[in-house]
Amino acid sequence: MKLAIVFGGESYEHEISIVSAIALKKVIFCELIYIFCSKDRDFYLIPADEITSKRFSTGKYLNDTKLTLKNGGFYFKKMFKEEKVKFDVAINIIHGADGEDGKIASLFDFFGIPYIGPDIEASVISYNKFFTKLYAQSLKINTLKYELLTKSSRKVTLPLPLIIKPLRLGSSIGVSVVKDENELEYALDVAFEFDDEILVEPFIENVTEYNIAGCKVGNNIRYSIIEEPQKKLFLDFDKKYLDFSRTNKVFEARVTEILHAEIRKSFKSLYEPLFEGAIIRCDFFVIKNRVYLNEINPNPGSLANYLFEEFNALVHDLVHALPKKRKIPISYKYINSIQSAKGKA
Protein backbone atom coordinates (compact mmCIF):
# COMPACT_ATOMS: atom_id res chain seq x y z
CA MET A 1 0.00 0.00 0.00
CA LYS A 2 1.12 3.54 -0.79
CA LEU A 3 -0.19 6.50 1.21
CA ALA A 4 0.38 10.13 0.25
CA ILE A 5 0.94 12.50 3.18
CA VAL A 6 -0.26 15.95 2.05
CA PHE A 7 0.99 18.75 4.32
CA GLY A 8 2.00 22.42 4.51
CA GLY A 9 -0.49 24.95 3.13
CA GLU A 10 -0.94 28.69 3.44
CA SER A 11 -1.69 28.74 7.14
CA TYR A 12 -0.47 30.10 10.47
CA GLU A 13 -0.06 26.41 11.32
CA HIS A 14 2.14 25.67 8.27
CA GLU A 15 5.21 24.78 10.33
CA ILE A 16 3.44 22.43 12.71
CA SER A 17 1.95 20.65 9.71
CA ILE A 18 5.52 19.91 8.60
CA VAL A 19 6.42 18.58 12.05
CA SER A 20 3.23 16.51 12.14
CA ALA A 21 3.87 15.00 8.69
CA ILE A 22 7.43 13.98 9.57
CA ALA A 23 6.20 12.29 12.76
CA LEU A 24 3.97 9.95 10.77
CA LYS A 25 7.07 8.19 9.38
CA LYS A 26 7.49 6.58 12.80
CA VAL A 27 3.96 5.23 13.14
CA ILE A 28 2.67 4.29 9.67
CA PHE A 29 4.45 1.28 8.24
CA CYS A 30 4.04 1.27 4.48
CA GLU A 31 5.43 3.27 1.59
CA LEU A 32 4.77 6.96 2.26
CA ILE A 33 4.68 9.56 -0.50
CA TYR A 34 5.21 13.10 0.78
CA ILE A 35 3.43 15.91 -1.06
CA PHE A 36 4.15 19.41 0.22
CA CYS A 37 1.86 22.40 -0.36
CA SER A 38 4.03 25.51 -0.20
CA LYS A 39 2.99 28.90 1.16
CA ASP A 40 2.39 29.85 -2.48
CA ARG A 41 0.12 26.79 -2.86
CA ASP A 42 2.44 24.98 -5.23
CA PHE A 43 2.77 21.23 -4.73
CA TYR A 44 6.12 19.40 -4.51
CA LEU A 45 7.05 15.73 -4.30
CA ILE A 46 9.42 15.44 -1.33
CA PRO A 47 11.81 12.46 -1.10
CA ALA A 48 10.61 10.51 1.94
CA ASP A 49 14.15 9.52 2.94
CA GLU A 50 15.33 13.14 2.89
CA ILE A 51 12.44 14.89 4.61
CA THR A 52 13.53 17.17 7.46
CA SER A 53 12.10 20.42 8.78
CA LYS A 54 15.21 22.24 7.60
CA ARG A 55 14.43 21.30 4.00
CA PHE A 56 11.48 23.69 4.14
CA SER A 57 12.94 26.50 6.24
CA THR A 58 15.90 26.79 3.85
CA GLY A 59 13.81 26.55 0.68
CA LYS A 60 15.60 23.40 -0.48
CA TYR A 61 12.22 21.90 -1.37
CA LEU A 62 12.12 24.27 -4.37
CA ASN A 63 14.56 21.91 -6.08
CA ASP A 64 12.18 18.96 -5.64
CA THR A 65 9.76 17.76 -8.30
CA LYS A 66 6.91 20.18 -8.83
CA LEU A 67 3.45 18.66 -9.14
CA THR A 68 0.19 19.57 -10.82
CA LEU A 69 -3.10 18.57 -9.21
CA LYS A 70 -5.77 17.56 -11.67
CA ASN A 71 -8.34 14.86 -12.36
CA GLY A 72 -7.29 11.61 -10.74
CA GLY A 73 -4.29 12.83 -8.75
CA PHE A 74 -0.96 14.63 -8.78
CA TYR A 75 1.18 14.68 -11.93
CA PHE A 76 4.74 15.68 -12.80
CA LYS A 77 6.39 16.43 -16.13
CA LYS A 78 8.84 14.08 -17.78
CA MET A 79 10.73 14.60 -21.01
CA PHE A 80 7.83 14.03 -23.41
CA LYS A 81 4.87 13.27 -21.18
CA GLU A 82 3.27 13.65 -17.76
CA GLU A 83 3.40 10.91 -15.17
CA LYS A 84 1.02 10.36 -12.28
CA VAL A 85 2.29 10.05 -8.70
CA LYS A 86 1.18 6.59 -7.68
CA PHE A 87 -0.54 6.14 -4.33
CA ASP A 88 -3.71 4.50 -3.05
CA VAL A 89 -5.06 7.10 -0.60
CA ALA A 90 -4.03 10.60 0.47
CA ILE A 91 -3.89 11.65 4.12
CA ASN A 92 -4.73 15.30 4.78
CA ILE A 93 -2.32 16.48 7.48
CA ILE A 94 -2.54 20.20 6.66
CA HIS A 95 -3.43 21.95 9.93
CA GLY A 96 -5.45 25.15 10.01
CA ALA A 97 -6.32 26.99 6.81
CA ASP A 98 -6.26 25.03 3.54
CA GLY A 99 -6.39 21.69 5.39
CA GLU A 100 -9.08 22.10 8.04
CA ASP A 101 -11.26 24.74 6.39
CA GLY A 102 -12.36 22.51 3.51
CA LYS A 103 -10.14 23.73 0.66
CA ILE A 104 -8.05 20.59 0.21
CA ALA A 105 -11.10 18.38 0.76
CA SER A 106 -12.85 20.30 -2.02
CA LEU A 107 -9.93 19.69 -4.37
CA PHE A 108 -9.72 16.01 -3.50
CA ASP A 109 -13.46 15.53 -4.03
CA PHE A 110 -13.46 17.54 -7.25
CA PHE A 111 -10.54 15.61 -8.75
CA GLY A 112 -11.64 12.20 -7.46
CA ILE A 113 -8.79 11.53 -5.02
CA PRO A 114 -9.63 9.20 -2.09
CA TYR A 115 -8.43 10.60 1.22
CA ILE A 116 -8.38 10.25 4.98
CA GLY A 117 -9.54 13.49 6.55
CA PRO A 118 -12.64 15.61 7.13
CA ASP A 119 -14.83 16.28 4.09
CA ILE A 120 -16.02 19.74 3.11
CA GLU A 121 -18.97 19.98 5.50
CA ALA A 122 -17.05 18.52 8.44
CA SER A 123 -14.20 20.95 7.80
CA VAL A 124 -16.42 24.02 7.67
CA ILE A 125 -18.23 23.13 10.91
CA SER A 126 -15.16 22.20 12.94
CA TYR A 127 -12.88 24.99 11.64
CA ASN A 128 -15.22 27.72 12.85
CA LYS A 129 -15.51 27.63 16.65
CA PHE A 130 -18.93 29.31 16.54
CA PHE A 131 -20.27 26.69 14.11
CA THR A 132 -18.79 23.98 16.35
CA LYS A 133 -20.75 25.37 19.30
CA LEU A 134 -23.99 25.34 17.32
CA TYR A 135 -23.31 21.81 16.08
CA ALA A 136 -22.66 20.50 19.59
CA GLN A 137 -25.73 22.25 20.97
CA SER A 138 -27.90 20.69 18.23
CA LEU A 139 -26.72 17.29 19.53
CA LYS A 140 -27.56 18.22 23.15
CA ILE A 141 -23.85 18.25 24.08
CA ASN A 142 -22.88 20.83 26.68
CA THR A 143 -20.72 23.80 25.72
CA LEU A 144 -19.38 26.70 27.75
CA LYS A 145 -21.07 30.09 27.49
CA TYR A 146 -19.53 32.27 24.80
CA GLU A 147 -19.64 35.58 22.97
CA LEU A 148 -18.82 36.15 19.32
CA LEU A 149 -17.02 39.44 18.68
CA THR A 150 -16.10 41.32 15.51
CA LYS A 151 -13.73 44.23 14.99
CA SER A 152 -16.71 46.58 14.78
CA SER A 153 -18.48 45.05 17.78
CA ARG A 154 -16.00 44.06 20.48
CA LYS A 155 -17.95 44.64 23.66
CA VAL A 156 -17.44 41.83 26.20
CA THR A 157 -20.18 41.22 28.76
CA LEU A 158 -19.02 37.89 30.23
CA PRO A 159 -17.39 38.26 33.66
CA LEU A 160 -13.67 37.73 34.20
CA PRO A 161 -11.63 35.58 34.01
CA LEU A 162 -11.91 34.92 30.27
CA ILE A 163 -10.15 33.05 27.49
CA ILE A 164 -10.03 34.78 24.13
CA LYS A 165 -9.53 32.85 20.88
CA PRO A 166 -9.39 33.67 17.18
CA LEU A 167 -12.49 32.07 15.65
CA ARG A 168 -10.73 30.06 12.94
CA LEU A 169 -7.36 29.03 14.29
CA GLY A 170 -5.84 26.23 16.31
CA SER A 171 -2.62 25.38 18.15
CA SER A 172 -3.38 28.11 20.73
CA ILE A 173 -2.14 30.79 18.31
CA GLY A 174 -3.52 34.19 19.32
CA VAL A 175 -5.12 32.78 22.48
CA SER A 176 -4.99 34.76 25.74
CA VAL A 177 -6.24 34.28 29.26
CA VAL A 178 -7.54 37.51 30.79
CA LYS A 179 -7.81 37.78 34.57
CA ASP A 180 -7.59 41.55 34.91
CA GLU A 181 -9.70 44.19 33.15
CA ASN A 182 -6.51 46.03 32.17
CA GLU A 183 -5.43 43.03 30.06
CA LEU A 184 -8.63 42.78 28.05
CA GLU A 185 -8.05 45.28 25.23
CA TYR A 186 -4.55 43.98 24.56
CA ALA A 187 -5.83 40.38 24.42
CA LEU A 188 -8.55 41.39 21.98
CA ASP A 189 -5.98 43.14 19.79
CA VAL A 190 -3.78 40.04 19.76
CA ALA A 191 -6.67 37.78 18.72
CA PHE A 192 -7.81 40.21 16.02
CA GLU A 193 -4.33 40.08 14.48
CA PHE A 194 -5.15 36.53 13.40
CA ASP A 195 -8.87 36.71 12.58
CA ASP A 196 -11.65 39.20 11.98
CA GLU A 197 -13.88 37.38 14.48
CA ILE A 198 -13.03 36.02 17.90
CA LEU A 199 -14.65 33.84 20.53
CA VAL A 200 -14.75 34.76 24.21
CA GLU A 201 -15.42 32.10 26.85
CA PRO A 202 -15.19 31.86 30.64
CA PHE A 203 -11.78 30.69 31.78
CA ILE A 204 -12.09 27.98 34.40
CA GLU A 205 -8.80 27.46 36.20
CA ASN A 206 -7.76 23.90 37.04
CA VAL A 207 -10.63 22.49 34.99
CA THR A 208 -10.26 18.80 34.22
CA GLU A 209 -9.79 18.11 30.51
CA TYR A 210 -9.94 14.80 28.67
CA ASN A 211 -9.00 14.01 25.06
CA ILE A 212 -10.27 11.10 22.99
CA ALA A 213 -9.72 10.26 19.33
CA GLY A 214 -11.27 7.79 16.97
CA CYS A 215 -12.73 6.96 13.59
CA LYS A 216 -15.41 4.75 12.11
CA VAL A 217 -14.36 1.49 10.48
CA GLY A 218 -17.25 -0.49 9.08
CA ASN A 219 -20.15 -0.19 11.47
CA ASN A 220 -18.09 0.53 14.57
CA ILE A 221 -16.26 3.47 16.09
CA ARG A 222 -12.66 2.63 16.94
CA TYR A 223 -11.91 4.66 20.05
CA SER A 224 -8.52 5.64 21.39
CA ILE A 225 -7.75 5.69 25.07
CA ILE A 226 -8.90 8.72 27.04
CA GLU A 227 -6.03 11.03 27.96
CA GLU A 228 -5.91 13.68 30.66
CA PRO A 229 -3.37 16.12 29.18
CA GLN A 230 -0.90 17.71 31.55
CA LYS A 231 -0.96 21.49 31.28
CA LYS A 232 -0.18 24.68 33.07
CA LEU A 233 -2.49 27.65 32.53
CA PHE A 234 -3.62 26.25 29.20
CA LEU A 235 -2.02 24.31 26.36
CA ASP A 236 0.09 27.08 24.85
CA PHE A 237 1.66 27.07 21.38
CA ASP A 238 5.00 25.63 22.49
CA LYS A 239 3.31 22.71 24.27
CA LYS A 240 1.04 22.03 21.32
CA TYR A 241 3.94 22.34 18.88
CA LEU A 242 5.65 19.49 20.73
CA ASP A 243 2.37 17.55 20.76
CA PHE A 244 2.26 17.63 16.96
CA SER A 245 5.47 15.59 16.83
CA ARG A 246 4.39 13.08 19.48
CA THR A 247 4.73 9.39 18.68
CA ASN A 248 5.20 7.87 22.14
CA LYS A 249 2.10 6.35 23.68
CA VAL A 250 0.53 8.20 26.59
CA PHE A 251 -1.02 6.91 29.81
CA GLU A 252 -4.74 6.32 29.99
CA ALA A 253 -6.66 8.61 32.34
CA ARG A 254 -8.24 7.11 35.43
CA VAL A 255 -11.94 7.85 35.10
CA THR A 256 -15.10 6.22 36.38
CA GLU A 257 -17.02 3.83 34.14
CA ILE A 258 -19.86 6.35 33.97
CA LEU A 259 -17.58 9.19 32.83
CA HIS A 260 -15.77 6.90 30.39
CA ALA A 261 -19.09 5.95 28.80
CA GLU A 262 -20.29 9.57 28.71
CA ILE A 263 -17.15 10.80 26.94
CA ARG A 264 -17.40 8.01 24.38
CA LYS A 265 -21.10 8.71 23.86
CA SER A 266 -20.41 12.41 23.24
CA PHE A 267 -17.60 11.57 20.82
CA LYS A 268 -19.83 9.16 18.88
CA SER A 269 -22.60 11.75 18.60
CA LEU A 270 -20.17 14.33 17.25
CA TYR A 271 -18.46 11.89 14.88
CA GLU A 272 -21.38 10.20 13.13
CA PRO A 273 -22.01 10.71 10.28
CA LEU A 274 -20.32 14.08 9.74
CA PHE A 275 -16.68 12.99 10.18
CA GLU A 276 -16.77 9.56 8.55
CA GLY A 277 -13.48 8.96 6.72
CA ALA A 278 -11.48 11.05 9.19
CA ILE A 279 -9.49 10.39 12.35
CA ILE A 280 -10.48 13.17 14.73
CA ARG A 281 -9.77 14.11 18.32
CA CYS A 282 -12.31 15.72 20.63
CA ASP A 283 -11.31 17.62 23.74
CA PHE A 284 -13.77 17.72 26.61
CA PHE A 285 -14.02 19.52 29.92
CA VAL A 286 -15.61 17.89 32.95
CA ILE A 287 -17.23 20.37 35.33
CA LYS A 288 -19.23 19.13 38.31
CA ASN A 289 -19.46 15.69 36.68
CA ARG A 290 -20.93 17.13 33.48
CA VAL A 291 -19.12 16.71 30.14
CA TYR A 292 -18.61 19.81 27.99
CA LEU A 293 -17.15 19.95 24.49
CA ASN A 294 -14.10 22.19 24.32
CA GLU A 295 -13.16 21.67 20.67
CA ILE A 296 -13.07 19.26 17.75
CA ASN A 297 -9.71 18.64 16.08
CA PRO A 298 -10.52 17.33 12.57
CA ASN A 299 -6.79 16.97 11.72
CA PRO A 300 -5.18 16.37 15.12
CA GLY A 301 -1.42 16.64 15.46
CA SER A 302 0.26 13.56 13.90
CA LEU A 303 -3.30 12.17 13.74
CA ALA A 304 -3.30 11.63 17.52
CA ASN A 305 -1.38 8.39 16.92
CA TYR A 306 -0.10 8.45 20.52
CA LEU A 307 -3.61 7.77 21.83
CA PHE A 308 -4.03 4.47 19.97
CA GLU A 309 -2.68 1.05 20.87
CA GLU A 310 -2.44 -0.10 17.22
CA PHE A 311 -2.35 3.07 15.15
CA ASN A 312 -0.75 1.54 12.06
CA ALA A 313 -3.44 -1.15 11.87
CA LEU A 314 -6.14 1.49 12.38
CA VAL A 315 -4.91 3.54 9.40
CA HIS A 316 -4.76 0.49 7.15
CA ASP A 317 -8.25 -0.61 8.19
CA LEU A 318 -9.63 2.89 7.60
CA VAL A 319 -8.13 2.97 4.10
CA HIS A 320 -10.29 -0.03 3.21
CA ALA A 321 -13.39 1.40 4.89
CA LEU A 322 -13.52 4.94 3.49
CA PRO A 323 -17.05 6.09 2.63
CA LYS A 324 -17.92 5.70 -1.03
CA LYS A 325 -18.54 8.88 -2.96
CA ARG A 326 -21.88 8.97 -4.72
CA LYS A 327 -21.53 8.90 -8.49
CA ILE A 328 -24.14 11.06 -10.16
CA PRO A 329 -25.23 9.70 -13.55
CA ILE A 330 -25.56 12.33 -16.26
CA SER A 331 -27.37 11.05 -19.36
CA TYR A 332 -28.84 14.25 -20.90
CA LYS A 333 -32.23 12.51 -21.08
CA TYR A 334 -34.13 15.71 -20.25
CA ILE A 335 -32.37 17.75 -22.92
CA ASN A 336 -32.79 14.90 -25.43
CA SER A 337 -36.52 14.56 -24.62
CA ILE A 338 -37.04 18.31 -25.08
CA GLN A 339 -35.21 18.23 -28.39
CA SER A 340 -37.27 15.23 -29.52
CA ALA A 341 -40.50 17.00 -28.57
CA LYS A 342 -39.46 19.94 -30.70
CA GLY A 343 -38.78 17.61 -33.58
CA LYS A 344 -35.05 18.25 -33.51
CA ALA A 345 -32.38 15.62 -33.75
* Class in CATH terms, 2-116: alpha beta
Alpha helices in 99-230 (DSSP H): 103-110, 120-127, 129-138, 184-192
- CATH code 3.30.470.20 region(s) in the chain: 125-141+206-319
Alpha-carbon distance of 115 to 7, in angstroms, equals 13
- Predicted confidence at residue 344, as pLDDT, reads 60
Handedness of CA 23, 28, 30, 35 (dihedral sign): negative
- Predicted confidence at residue 345, as pLDDT, reads 55
- Predicted confidence at residue 171, as pLDDT, reads 66
pTM, rounded to two decimals: 0.91
* Class in CATH terms, 125-141+206-319: alpha beta
Grade residue 341 by pLDDT with cuts at 50, 70 and 90: confident
CATH superfamily, with its number, for domain 145-202: ATP-grasp fold, A domain (3.30.1490.20)
Q: 58-90: b or e for each residue (b if 16 or more CB lie within 10 Å)?
A: eeebeebeebebeeebbbbeeeeeeeebebebb
Number of neighbouring beta carbons within 10 Å of residue 197: 17
Question: Residue 343: pLDDT above 90?
Answer: no
200 vs 173: which has the higher pLDDT: 200
Give me the percent of the chain exceeding a pLDDT of 90: 83
- CATH code 3.30.1490.20 region(s) in the chain: 145-202
- Overall average pLDDT of the 158-169 stretch: 94
Query: What residues have CB less than 8 Å from 232, skipping those under 6 apart?
Result: 239
- CATH code 3.40.50.20 region(s) in the chain: 2-116
pLDDT in tens, 274-325: 999 999 999 999 999 999 999 999 999 999 999 999 999 999 999 999 998 8
Q: Which residues, in sequence order, are bridge partners of residue 2?
A: 31
